[in-house]
Every structure is written in structure tokens, then in C-alpha cells.
Amino acid sequence: MRFHVVGLGSIGTLLAFHLRRGLDPKHVIHLVHKTNGLAETARLEGGHIGVEYNGVYLSETGFKHEGFEPASRIYRDTVRQGRAIRSAKASGEEKLGIAQMPEILQSTQIESLFVTTKAHAVYHVIEGLLPRLSPRCTIVLGVNGMGVYEGLVSTFFRNPETRPHFILMSNTHGAWLKRPGRAIHSGLGTMQFGIVPDPRGRDFEASMHSGGLLSLPHSRRCNLNDIALPNNDPHGTEYVSLRNTITAFLSMKDLHTEWLPMSELQLAMRRKLVANAVINPLTALMNCRNGELFRTEESIRILRRVCKEAERVFSVDIRSQPRGFETPEDPAPQGDPVPPSLQSAGLIRNCLNVAKQTAHNFSSMLLDIQHGRQTEIDYINGYLVKLGSHHRVKMGTTSMLASLIKMRGTVPSRPLL
């Protein structure tokens, strides 16, 4: 099995390290660097990945390194030939399988892809790798914010029958990059993931719900019986990558990986989204650590307003969604479909807890501002604002924070005279 990791920042490095530790050496892990030059540098320096936690440094080797160069010959050729193949298949003129694809395309096919880039970079990455992706591969989206999956589907994978398998991931581990290939694991958290519903209607979560198993701690580490094996299912080969990717996820035990029903993962992602919508822009604007927020009544007032706006828009959104992908399964009493964790009081508690647990951390948005990089504000506050616009819910404070970050990003960081 071949695994590819693209986005070698702090979380990508942390994930690649634990993926290598958890998997048998026979499985190949490719690290996809931004350029061929960076990949070559990594090879010359030994090709290892290191993680430091509580002053203890560990490293892993055995990676393959490649550069992300969509403008190079291999990408130009595979894009052109891949498009021709898809066009022929769509028109019914030819029925081509992977074995009939150009040799250059076969040799670079991706089976399992972990994407841990910035949210706004995902589209560029998927577009560049598109010729190497097939309906049988699995894509793991481990990015901040929300709305990336929906954007990818509407842009590149409109046909459900030819869409790769998708896994969404929510990470709460704290980490920062000391240098390329070396991450500091600054805070333990969890790495939760869920499988996007299958277009064929296969219920991957059946064993998690049957017999009340959902209430048991071990139920979150299922034996994957509901994901087909090639020997007993005519479509089994189409799910091998998905099954192996989940097995790889669960092998990273030190990251506290956990398979959740999609409805529960959506809850976790929304809680994290709101915490990021408050903490990230405020720390970026105030140039402070996470723990230095919420010491004044003014900051608490902003926190309350964002959480109240989020509660309102989630309430309308949840009521408008069909059961399944978007609907939480732990509703509040009296039939309220909005669970306590997504009501303003629960969101406020979560934000305060995150700020306390990551008190010594600098938010990724602050670091992006300091280094003149594009922020992920469009997929955090911007996602909430768009949701509010769609449901006609006013998001004044959330929108103002987004506008201030965009303004701040246009002003160079420099010492005052």
C-alpha cells in the first residue's frame, strides 16, 4: 500500500511521523514537498522526520520524498492524458481501466492521500494531483475550517460514481514546526475522523450503532467489518484503499485517533470552527498567545457575540438539513435539534477551554500574519458568514473579525518608529 502526505507543516509532520511508526515497513510513505528542490534537500539530509515532546526527541526514517511540481513534464503529460481518458469514458466511446492508462500515469497513481495543507491550498494540490487520483483511492482532508470538501466535490468530483473515497479529520493536537522535518508536539489532543457517506449506500457505521455499541469506549475502534473485503463482495476491490487508510489511522494510537459517525464528527468540527473563529483572529490582531486572551470584559464580550451568532446559524442550518451527513445525533432536551455543545453556553466553555489548554501557543493565523502568508479566515469566519448569508442570519461580529484580518493581512509587519 502506498500512502502520500502533502502539507508538511507541523500537523503533516506529526502525522507522517506517527504513520511511519504505526505501519509495517512494507507500506510505502511518500512525503510530497512543495518543490523538487525541497524533496532533494530532505533526501540529502537523511530523509528522516522528527518529533519532540516534553524535551524527548524521536525520529523516523524510511520515507520516499517527491516534489509537487504540477508544471513539470510528468504533470503536463498526465493531466493531458488523464483528461483524454476521462473524456472517452464519459462519452462511452471507450472503456478504459487503470491497466490501460498511459504507463506514466500508472507508475504515479495515488492510493491514499493525506492532505494537511492550508485550507486555501487544497484546491491547487488536488488539481495538480488529479491525474494520479482514481475512484478507488482515498483522500483524507485534515485542514482547518469547513467547506473544503464541498468545494472539491463541486469543482472536481461532481459525479458520485467516479468520486474518490473521502475521510474528514478533526485534529486538536498542538504542534509547531521548529524547522522542516522537525515538529514540536506542544499539546496532546485527539485526531478524530469520519467517512463521508458512500454513494452506493453502504453503511460504514453499522457496527457502531448496532446493539447500543456507541455507548462503549471500544466501539470507536471498530474492526472494519462493514468495509468490504475483495473476497466476499463484487465491489470489494473498490474499498481496499478506504479500509487500509482507516487501519492506518487506527494504528497511530499515540495520536489518540478515533473513528466517529459523521454526525458526531460534524459536531466536533463545528465546535472547533467556532473556537478558531474567536481565538485565531483575536490573537492575530492582538499579537499575543492564546492564553493571553479573555482577560478583559471586552474580549469576553466579543467571545459571547461570536458564539451567539454561531448558535443561531447552526440552529437554522441543522433544522434545514436532512438526517445523515449534517445532523447531530445528541439533540438537546424538549426536542431541540441543536445539541448543548452547539448552543452559545457550550461554545463559550469550549473556547475558554481551548485557550487554556493551548495557553502558550501562538495561533496559526498569527504566524501567517507575521510571515505575510494568506490566512485561512475564509474557511473559518468566512464559512460562518456564508452560512449566515444563506440562512439570512446576521453575523455582524464574526464578519467584522474576518474583515479586520483581511485588512491586517495587507499591512506589512514592521516595528513602530
Co-location of 177 and 216 in the same domain: yes
Among candidate residues 10, 67, 15, 81, the one with its CA nearest the CA of residue 38: 67
Residue 69 confidence class, pLDDT cut points 50, 70, 90: confident
Position 355 scores a pLDDT of 94
Q: Which of 174, 147, 152 is nearest to 52 (CA)?
A: 174
Does residue 240 register a pLDDT over 70? yes
Q: Which residue from 34, 31, 30 is spatially nearest to 68, judged by alpha carbons?
A: 34
List phi, psi (to 5°) of 110. Answer: -100, 130
Q: What pLDDT, on a 0 to 100 scale, did the predictor assign at position 153?
A: 95
Torsion of CA 308, 309, 315, 320, to 10 degrees: 180
Phi-psi region of 301 (alpha: psi -120 to 50; beta: other; left: phi over 0): alpha
325 lies in some domain? no
Tally Cβ neighbours within 10 Å of residue 112.
27
Q: Quick one: CA dihedral 361, 269, 13, 221, positive or negative? A: positive
Residue 377 and residue 291 share a domain: yes
Residue 412: its pLDDT value, please? 72
Residues 115 and 162 in one domain: yes
pLDDT score at 307: 98
Q: Are 29 and 23 in contact (CB under 8 A)?
A: yes
Any idea what DSSP says for residue 160? G
Say what the pLDDT of residue 326 is: 47
Q: Dump the DSSP string for 369-389.
A: HHTTPPPSGGGTHHHHHHHHH
pLDDT for 322: 54
Residue 14 host element (H or E): helix 10-22
Residue 204 gets which letter from DSSP?
Answer: T
Contacts of 357 (CB under 8 A, 6+ apart): 174, 187
Average pLDDT of the segment spanning 179-185: 94
Q: What is the mean pLDDT of residues 388-413?
A: 94
Q: Which domain holds residue 25?
A: 2-81+105-260
Which pLDDT value is given to residue 223? Answer: 52
- Of 209, 225, 260, the one marking the end of a domain is 260
Same domain, 315 and 239: no
Are residues 169 and 282 located together in one domain of the fold?
no
Q: Could you tell me if 18 and 57 lie in one domain?
A: yes
Cα–Cα distance measured from residue 203 to residue 224, given in angstroms and rounded to the nearest whole number: 11
Please check whether residue 3 is in contact with residue 110, taking contact to mean a CB–CB distance below 8 angstroms: no
Q: Tell me, yes or no, whether 236 lies in a domain.
A: yes
Per-residue pLDDT for 75 more than 60? no
- Is the pLDDT confidence value at 90 over 70? no
- 358 vs 224 pLDDT, higher one: 358
Q: What is the CA radius of gyration of the chain?
A: 22
Q: Answer yes or no: is pLDDT of 89 > 60.
A: no
76 versus 297: the higher-pLDDT residue is: 297
Number of Cβ within 10 Å of residue 90's Cβ equals 10
At 159, which CATH number? 3.40.50.720
pLDDT reading at 1 higher than 70 = yes
* Rounded Cα gap, residues 346 and 230, in angstroms: 44
* Residue 200's pLDDT band (cuts 50, 70, 90): confident
Q: What is the mean pLDDT of residues 333-350?
A: 84
Q: At what angle do helices 344-357 and 262-286 cross, to 10 degrees?
A: 60
The rounded percent of the chain whose pLDDT value lies above 70 is: 80
pLDDT at 230: 63
DSSP 308-370: HHHHHHHHHHHHHSPTTTS--SSPPSTT-SS-GGGSHHHHHHHHHHHHHHTTTPPPHHHHHHH
Q: Looking at residues 333-345, what average pLDDT do you find? A: 80
- Is the domain of 229 the same as that of 314? no
Task: Identify the CATH number of the domain in which residue 344 sits.
Answer: 1.10.1040.10
Q: Which three cell numbers stand for residue 295?
A: 482577560
What is d(CA 162, CA 237) in angstroms, rounded to the nearest whole number? 14
- Is residue 56 domain-shared with residue 200, that is, in the same domain? yes
What nine digits make up the cell of 98?
Answer: 487503470
Q: Do 270 and 256 sit in the same domain of this protein?
A: no
Query: Rounded to the nearest 10 degrees, what angle do helices 396-409 and 262-286 cross at?
Result: 50
Check whether residue 313 and residue 282 sit in a common domain. yes
* Residue 337 pLDDT: 72
* Domain assignment present for 328: no
Q: Which residues of 353-387 are buried (b: 16+ CB within 10 A; e: fewer)?
A: ebbebbeebbbbbbbbbeeeeebbbbbbbbbbbbb
User: What residue has cell string 461532481?
Assistant: 158
CA end-to-end span of the chain? 57
Q: Where are the alpha helices (DSSP H) in 45-121?
A: 73-91, 103-106
Query: What pLDDT score was predicted for residue 335?
Result: 57
pLDDT value at 340 more than 70: yes
State pLDDT tens for residues 316-330.
Answer: 998 887 544 444 444
Is there a domain that residue 54 lies in? yes
Confidence of residue 216 (pLDDT cuts 50, 70, 90): very low
Q: Which amino acid is at 280?
A: N
Asked if residue 185 and residue 145 are part of one domain, the reply reads yes
Res 13 pLDDT > 80: yes
Section 28-41 average pLDDT? 94
Span 169-196, average pLDDT = 93
**390 has pLDDT over 60:** yes
Q: Return the higher-pLDDT residue of 106 and 170.
A: 170
Which residue has better confidence, 82 or 268?
A: 268
> What pLDDT is recorded for position 233?
73
Record the cell numbers describing residue 352, joined without a space: 475558554
Number of domains in the chain: 2
Mean pLDDT of the chain: 85
pLDDT for residue 273 is more than 70: yes
Range with the lowest mean pLDDT among 92-96, 169-173, 212-216? 212-216
pLDDT at 193 over 80: yes
pLDDT surpasses 70 at 225 = no
Lowest mean pLDDT among 234-238, 341-345, 375-379: 234-238
In terms of domains, do 134 and 241 share one? yes
- The number of residues making up the chain comes to 417
Q: What is the Cα–Cα distance from 193 to 249, expressed in whole angstroms?
A: 9
Note the pLDDT of residue 227: 72
What whole-number distance in Å separates Cα of residue 66 and Cα of residue 76? 16
CA dihedral sign, ordered 283, 286, 287, 290: negative
pLDDT reported for residue 319: 85
The rounded distance, in Å, linking the Cα atoms of 240 and 228 is 8
Position 411 pLDDT exceeds 90? no
